Structure 1
Amino acid sequence: MSLALYTVPDAAGLGALGASFIEVLVRDRADAVLGLATGSSPLPVYRALAEHELDLSRLRAFALDEYVGLPAGSNQSYAAVIDREVTRPLGLDPDCVAVPDGSAEDPAEAAEAFERRLESAGGVDLQLLGIGHNGHLAFNEPGSPLDSRTRVQRLSETTRRANARFFPSIGEVPQFCITQGLGTIRRAKHLLLLVRGGEKSGILKRALTGPVGVDCPASILQLHPRVTVISDEAAASGLQGLEEALLPPV
């Protein structure tokens, strides 16, 4: 594993630094493939990127996951979130932004179709990631195979409770999703993990320094040749004493 850890004071710092990685990617290759994460951690990155004077119209983007069973156009769907927070603010071509079809009649076939589309694009150049309280990456819950591909996944009650704030009640949070698998995520050329908040400090330390295994899906970061972590100070508090081993490369 080649890992670089950057610690920033707040969300603004995380957003500015995260956006700089995307800017470098796009200036090098205008039609690069960016992997999009949802949730609260990457939002500062998208908002900081919107302030950059970049032509992103040729950028291709793939979402990590989507709920299964929400009606097409639902405001709670990740397709809607990406449209609001990424596609329109950044001027991306909607035809170049792919999200798994969670409203499909056959979600398993929709998952396979998404995987094929991702492969035909040549794979992800830079994949943005967040980490769940139970160590999930995308919607890969504990127990997910380390070589899994895009598939239908049942959401744990922990994840459903964490996401209930986006729905009128926990009963309306879908029980299933389509998610890129851990094997799919590992094929990205560069993984950029964004972590905010002291409640994530324990799981971040476990992911980066604990044993690799299905109990902590994010531990697969240790198997990847290029990982960058941008963490606020609260989330990085559990890594004290490890900074020298995780310094950015010169």
Structure 2
Amino acid sequence: MEVVILPGSKQIGALAADAIEALLRRKPNAVLGLATGSSPLPVYDELARRHQEKGLDFSQAHAFALDEYVGLEPGHPESYREVIRREFTDRVNIDPANVHSPDGTAADLPAACEAYEDSIRALGGVDLQILGVGTDGHIGFNEPGSSLASRTRIKTLIEQTRKDNARFFKSIDDVPHHVVTQGLGTIMDARHVVLIATGAQKAQTVRDFVEGPVAAICAASVLQMHQHATILIDEAAASSLKLADYYRHTYDNKPKWQSI
């Protein structure tokens, strides 16, 4: 796990976009893993800018969303399929047919979850997965207590997550109780994971999953066991880390040829 502490979200977005651009240039048909929420937005903004101004090409790429609410009708503005379309994929030249998301409206949800796993495997797996992290340490919708080996499946949201997401709906009563999410085992299969966390409200969470024990109570802690996990955080999110100075020193003295 590499922890990179940067001044703010603009610098974080640029560094994450650098990794994705480098991936696309060496592998135009790369498979990207897309997250929703506020954390990835600077990355999507920067990638859209590079596409529009520098011609960064997504035409052969595929993308898989992390999760989806169960029961929201197709086209619902807060479905994650729609959020990813608005925030990112409509702003670049990726083929809409190459953008995949879990089916939260399927009549047979377990079968749809299995089919989603099959779709990822059929394309050779995710090359780079973007992640945010919840204040309780969840990644995707893998709430506290999730199996560290879990695959794409149905999960019940804890009330804090529903409260956190209520701002996107008319009221908390409109927030679904259930979701379909890639599992922690699915996320761990990605060849490179880039997790973004900003703000003082994420400081204890960052300390828990970076420097605490690997435990199901903090789902993101499983990334300590990933072969290529990059944690991009700002100074506020880094404020509780015991080894913050070491992480800064390591990054400042990183060989120029070594990317994140």
TM-score (norm 2): 0.93
Matches of 1:78 and 1:180 in 2, distance apart? 13
SS of equivalent to 1:139: coil
Contact preservation (8 Å) 2:3, 2:247: no
2: CA distance, partners of 1:241 / 1:32: 34
Residue among 160, 163, 170 paired with 1:161 = 163
2:239 aligns with one of 225, 233, 237: 237
1:19-54 CA distances to partner (integer Å, 9 max, x unpaired)?
Answer: 111101101100001100100000010001111120
Q: What residue identity is the alignment partner of 2:105?
A: S
- 2:29: which partner in 1? 31
Which residue of structure 2 aligns with residue 195 of structure 1? 197
Partner of residue 68, structure 1: 70
Q: 1:117 aligns with which of 116, 119, 124?
A: 119
Q: What is the aligned residue count? A: 248
Corresponding residue number in structure 1 for 2:172? 170
Q: TM-score, normalised by structure 1?
A: 0.96
Letter in 2 for 1:109: A
Pick which of 158-167 and 7-16 moved more: 7-16
Q: Residue type matched to 1:166 in 2?
A: F
Out of 215, 218, 221, the residue aligned to residue 219 of structure 1 is 221
Per-residue deviation, residues 81-135 of structure 1 (Å, max 9, x unmatched): 0111111102211111100011112222211111110111111111101110111
Matching residue within 158, 182, 185 for 2:184: 182
Partner of 2:48: 50
Residue in structure 2 matched with residue 105 of structure 1 by the alignment: 107
> Which stretches of structure 1, 4 residues or longer, exceed 2 Å deviation after superposition?
240-243, 245-250
Q: What is aligned with 1:91?
A: 93
Q: C-alpha root-mean-square deviation of aligned residues, in Å?
A: 1.2
**In 2, Cα distance between equivalents of 1:245 and 1:153:** 34
* Whole-angstrom distance in 2 between the partners of 1:207 and 1:62: 24
C-alpha distance in 2 between matches for 1:11 and 1:208: 19
How much identity, in percent, do the aligned residues show?
A: 50
Q: SS state of the match for residue 239, structure 1?
A: coil
Residue equivalent to 2:15: 17
Please state how far the C-alpha of 1:241 moved relative to its aligned partner.
3.5
- Structure 1: gaps spanning 5 or more residues: none
* Structure 2 CA distance for aligned equivalents of residues 215 and 17 of structure 1: 30
1:59 CA displacement: 0.9
Give the distance between the partners of 1:84 and 1:152, measured in 2 at CA.
25
Q: Which amino acid aligns with 1:118?
A: I
